[in-house]
Structure 1
Amino acid sequence: TTHYQILKQFAEDTPGLINGSMLYDRHLMQPMFKLSIGNPGSSFAVEIARKIGLPLEIISAAEDIVGKEYVNLDNYLLDITRDKRYWENKRTAIRQKEKKLEQMLAQYSEDAEQLRSKRRDIIEEARAEARKILDSSNAAIERTIADIKQANAERERTLEARRKLKEERLALEKDARNHRDNNAILSKAPKKKKGNSEPKPSGQTIAKAEIVVGTNVKLDGAGTVGTVLEISGKNAIVAFGNLKTNVKLDRLTATNAQPKSNAKSTVSMQTIDSGYERQLNFKQEIDLRGMRADEAIQAVTYFIDDAIRFSIARVRILHGTGTGALRQAVRALLSTTPGIESFHDEDVRFGGAGITVVNLK
């Protein structure tokens, strides 16, 4: 072992010799008891002298004797040792991160495979359920046809049988479309909300008590004439053209007007499907921001009309605050629209005056 720089240089330049050094913590000024082969080390003579408290004039005289090159070389060796330790720690950290990334990639691959497997199982279950629905629906259709024949075209039983047949066919078409999209079977349409609106007075109306199967009626808030197909308690199945809906009796008004004639008495399945799709996809919120007043009024008119037809109890209209003109126009329309029980600002936590909440009868 040596502290002489010239011998360190001799070992570096002479074949058969190699430098080594015991590592030393420069900041804590204490040995690390770790041997490093390949590079010479610093003697830390000046640093140790300062630590043990030698007078500064002695340290300065020593530095003058050995010269700046010795001191600089000693510092270079310290820097090399420091850099080596830094990059070794860096390399260790990179290896640890690479190992962690490999583990995460393996886990993600395993999770992805499990998801693909579950997706296949869900699709297969949906297809099996669809086949079961098709089988049961076909049986229901056969039973319905038999009931119609046995009833000898008796009016009430015929209407009842046709209604059941139509419901079975619509349910079949809806479930088949859902399964083709590889989605879970849609739940039944939302239940109708309670309503207690008063009948709309009209010169053509007749007493509410006279509503029976076959009576022509109008729905509050709408002008279309429909025919009552079935009465069950306080509810009635009403046919508006070829679209049938379940409505509360107290929302119907008997009328002497006749439904619009339909020579063919049929509507394409696409039209019926469109009506059911519209009800299933109906959103209880409309956004008017960015519209002109006339556009907004038309959009709200259609929106409220659909909400009343689908027996929605509550909707929200987003018009923003702005100058307040759009809000004022919307509320002027709401105040004159039949079938609306009340309207008010949304709670301040959910939009305040920028949103109008409408309660329907």
Structure 2
Amino acid sequence: MNKKSLNKLEYDKIIGLLSEQASFKGGRDLCENLMPLPSLEEVEKAQDETACAFSRIVKKGRLSFYGLVPINGLLKRLEVGAILGSGELLHLKNMLKSAAQAKSYGRRERSDEPGDLLDTYFDLLSPLTPLATEIERCILAEDEISDEASPNLKNIRSQMKRINDRIHSTLNQMVNKSLRTYLQDPIVTMRGDRYCLPVKAEYKAQVPGMIHDQSATGSTLFIEPLAVVNLNNDMRELLAKEKDEIQVILADLSNQCSEFLPEMKVNNETLATLDFIFAKGNLAYLWKAAKPLYNDEGIIEIREGRHPLLDPKTVVPITVSLGDAFSLLVITGPNTGGKTVTLKTIGLFSLIGQAGLHIPALDRSRLSLFSDVLADIGDEQSIEQSLSTFSSHLTNIVSFLKTIDDRSLVLFDELGAGTDPTEGAALAIAILDYLHARGIRTAATTHYSELKVYALSTKGVENASCEFDVNTLRPTYRLLIGVPGKSNAFAIAKRLGLPDYIIDAAKEQIDEEDESFEDLIGDLDRRRKDIEAKKMEIDRHNLDLKKQKERLAEKESKLDARRDKIMQAANEEAAKVLSDAKAEADDLIKKLRKYGENISLADLERDREKVRKRLAKTGAPAITPIPRTAGELKPTDLKLGEKVRVLSLNVTGNVIELPDKKGNVTVQMGIIKSRLPLSDLEIIDEEPLYVKKQKEQRRNIGSGMGKSLSIRPEINLIGKTVDEAIAALDKYLDDAYLAHLSSVRIIHGKGTGALRKAVADHLKKQKYVKSFRAGEFGEGDAGVTVAEFKE
């Protein structure tokens, strides 16, 4: 990559931001040496690693290696058999601890959780826990070895403690008793590694011993009393032994470390690599960046990209494409309108993406692999080299033309500027046309109208402009692909107060062709704004409709839930009422069966009243017959065998005697016969028994006669599971219908009601079943379902 272009696109600043995310020098070194990768395979692997680190940071937080120091030198010393110091061994221990923490961080929480590319690095780590534990046991701090490091060291220090206690005891007795008056201060002090007393100079003869030092004034002598000389000598010997034993311990630990030298080298390199990868992941997290999709076809499509060096609170995202429908992009617009930022965004995203960094843009942004990114941006005027602005730009362009190939990306800022406008525009068109003919991806900014015309008239070249608000005299920083920028010099001048006569005079200097072209651009810009405004209005309406639809759906869901709750409560209440009523009815049936024809209507009415009151107490509505007006049922309406409902008892029966003169009718209700008034009866819409019998006799004639004789008029399903019962019922219904039975009784019992419900659901689906009902009084009540067939 062209180093000069890297600096122009501020790639080094991005590397600086990346390095700040690394935890220790090993990772920072990899960050600082990061360059765009040459192959698509390497780029995609680096992008995937960054994506894996980003995903882990979101789920688990960041993996950090703060506190680690470079250990390359320590590992080289171990290779040659050197003995490491206590501080150096602690550095190795810290590295092993970090390896253990990283290994733990890399483990999957669930065995079925899919792996990622970083698993390979975590698997390479060898925490060497026993070795780390041994170093930690022996070395407490950089200058402190544990007493437990070895039995010999523990013994030496035990002896040192005893001698030290004896020395202090002896000297304390001298200080507090015999020598107190001869001392400058009643304290014990050290000179070198010997215990001494501060004796007044005039009393030195009173304190026999060795003089080790004196004060600056000479008034105090530091004397080691003879009583502790031997003890101090013993202490010095023990100190020497302690030092030797510490060296033995350090040598032993160094030897243990050297045995695992290959593992430590792999750990050191792997931790640096992981620190580097997680630095990329953390930078992506801070930028709210996304992984770009890569291609080798020269296609760039940046969706709402934000330049990472601009303030994220104020930066205006840009959407720009290049290399698909067109290979050359000409960007026009006012100064400070965002043209240069657009160029830098294209170039910088190409560089950092190719280096394996995510880009601060929306998902599904696309970047391409380039062999080089060449950028001529900024003014490089040089007094020392006698280069003008035009010359410096042209020098860059010449160097570019020598090195470019069809896999290069070229960026020009103000191409052709700094010289005569006519010649500069012509030269710019020639350069761009040469690059376009070679298919080299190019983006250029300009103020020349000639380049706008060139872009409009040349296939594979596209205009773009940075929007400018004339009313506020401020750029919006929005990039508009396919729209050439309009010159706003006259509008800006007018807004700033330049007299109209000067502006009019300036306009007269522009030929009609240029003026018409600018007017055309202005008209296109106005139409574009109108279309955008209408689109925004449509989008707003669509959003409102979407919200209304969501509110209606939510309201409907709540209503459905409320309805289901009410229905459930009602069903539960109804089930309770029916359960109580059935219990009372069963009791009544038992009495009827017990007393037979001898039961009196008065007793029956009293029992019925009890049932009614029980239903009233449960809060359930009483069973109310269909209201009838007086005289609605006439004596002539009844026929022998007519099926009627007794309204006062809510039971069915058959007429066995026609009404007498008083209008009383004899009705057979199961095993009970009773004379009842016409007003207490209603006809059930069924054929009389004798008619049914005649029809049955007619049906029995012919092919179905043998079948009808073998099919029972009822089926008993009690004791079967629902599936077994339905299978048996289905076959039975087919046989009964083919046998021309008019109706059948299905005995399923009461139980939990599940079998009864299954039977009812099955009967609803049969096309040849005319109707079905629960068994009535005398037919088996709720434990039986009576089904009638169609003729």
TM-score range, shorter chain: 0.3 to 0.5
| Higher radius of gyration, 1 or 2 | 2
TM-score, with structure 2 as normaliser? 0.20
